[in-house]
Amino acid sequence: MFEAQQREVEAMMSQSPEFRSLFLKHRELDKQVRDAELGVLPIDDVTLVRLKKEKLWAKDKLTNIWEHRA
């Protein structure tokens, strides 16, 4: 997420604690989902769906902040 804008992301993370927090949360959720799908993190399907929903919520919020940055 936002791979092509690395410098801008770093600037946003230093300027906005909310963006930084959400970005780090999204990255952690992404890792957990990936690990669960690979079988490295043993979780049930309900928990996996919940993680995916949280990840999507964080991405939507990040995108909204990103689009409305000054």
Q: Is the dihedral of CA 59, 64, 68, 70 positive or negative?
A: negative
For the chain, the structural domain boundaries read 3-67
> What secondary structure, in 3-state letters, does 54-70 show?
HHHHHHHHHHHHHHCCC
Helix 45-67 and helix 17-38, axial crossing angle in degrees, nearest 10: 150
Residue 3 has pLDDT above 80, yes or no: no
Predicted model pTM: 0.85
User: What is the model's pLDDT at position 1?
Assistant: 66
Q: Which pLDDT tens digit goes with each residue over 11-62? A: 999 999 999 999 999 999 999 999 999 999 899 999 999 999 999 999 999 9
The answer to whether the Cα torsion of 46, 52, 19, 28 is positive or negative is positive
